[in-house]
Amino acid sequence: MTRLSGERRDVAIAATGFMPEEEGDALYTAALAAGASCPGLPMVEIGSYCGRSTVWFGAAAETCNVILFAVDHHGGSEENQIGWEWHDPTLVDAVTGRFNTLPHFENTMSRAGLTETVRTVVGDSPTIASTWTQQIAMCFIDGGHARDVAAQDYASWSVHIARGGLLVIHDVFTDPNLGGQAPFEEIYLAAKNSGKFEDVSATGSLRVLKRVK
């Protein structure tokens, strides 16, 4: 596994988010591999939050000399809303009263020096995917964990991954006592059952699969 080092690692760790360092390095390693396997093709992240994972991903995209499109509506997933377990009141806009991670994401990208590599795409994932025309070297899905949201993210974006490219999924828990099952059942198992993806690695809750068909 290749380890992200230097100031960018410090920026990633300081950013609000849920990506453990070991899984961040696994994401970084996967993106480097995807860039080597599918040179010149862009990469996509679904669910950027405040940019913690995007620093690892974006640093690898920069090394591969490709663009990373970071897709997020920045209004927070269901579990981020008021009254839910993962709500963070510091991310609520003082003027609108709405959950808004966009300013925090943009600040993280600026601090990491990744504004030229990472393209911020604000909007609903399936809507953006519906007009997408490019093949991509890698898709990292770390969006909402409701079953319908996870299923839509997989169905919308997996078709754009080039053969030899990678599908990376966060928060994959086979044991329901450890976490929600949507990323496992609606994305990981869907990919495996399609016959188009094969396992590459598992690091914590991060799964990496390669498109083979």
- What is the CATH number for 33? 3.40.50.150
Residue 161, H or E segment: strand 161-169
Model confidence at 183: pLDDT above 80 = yes
The answer to the question of residue 148 being in a domain is yes
Residues belonging to the active site:
145
Contacts of 178 (CB under 8 A, 6+ apart): none
The answer to the question of residue 23 being in a domain is yes
Number of domains in the chain: 1
Tell if the pTM clears 0.85, that is, is over it.
Answer: yes
The answer to the question of residue 38 being in a domain is yes
CA-CA-CA-CA torsion for 151, 86, 180, 22, nearest 10 degrees?
A: 90
The answer to the question of residue 110 being in a domain is yes
The answer to the question of residue 177 being in a domain is yes
Model confidence at 162: pLDDT above 60 = yes
Tell me if 66 sits within 8 A of 162, measured CB to CB.
Answer: no
Tell me if 32 sits within 8 A of 64, measured CB to CB.
Answer: yes
User: What would the pLDDT profile of 15-30 be if each residue is shown by its tens digit?
Assistant: 999 999 999 999 999 9
The answer to the question of residue 2 being in a domain is no
pLDDT at 192: 98
| Rounded CA separation 24/42 (Å) | 19
The encoded tokens of residue 114 equal 């990744």
Tell me if 22 sits within 8 A of 53, measured CB to CB.
Answer: no
% of the chain beyond a pLDDT of 90: 84
Model confidence at 81: pLDDT above 70 = no
pLDDT at 110: 98
Model confidence at 125: pLDDT above 90 = yes
Domain with 182 in it: 7-211
pLDDT at 70: 98
The answer to the question of residue 59 being in a domain is yes
User: What would the pLDDT profile of 90-106 be if each residue is shown by its tens digit?
Assistant: 778 777 778 799 999 99
Query: Which amino acid, one-letter code, is at 24?
Result: G
* 90 secondary structure, DSSP code: G
| Rounded CA separation 46/68 (Å) | 11
What is the mean predicted confidence (pLDDT) over 47-51? 96
Look at the block and give the residue holding tokens 């083979």.
212
The answer to the question of residue 1 being in a domain is no
Tell me if 175 sits within 8 A of 79, measured CB to CB.
Answer: no
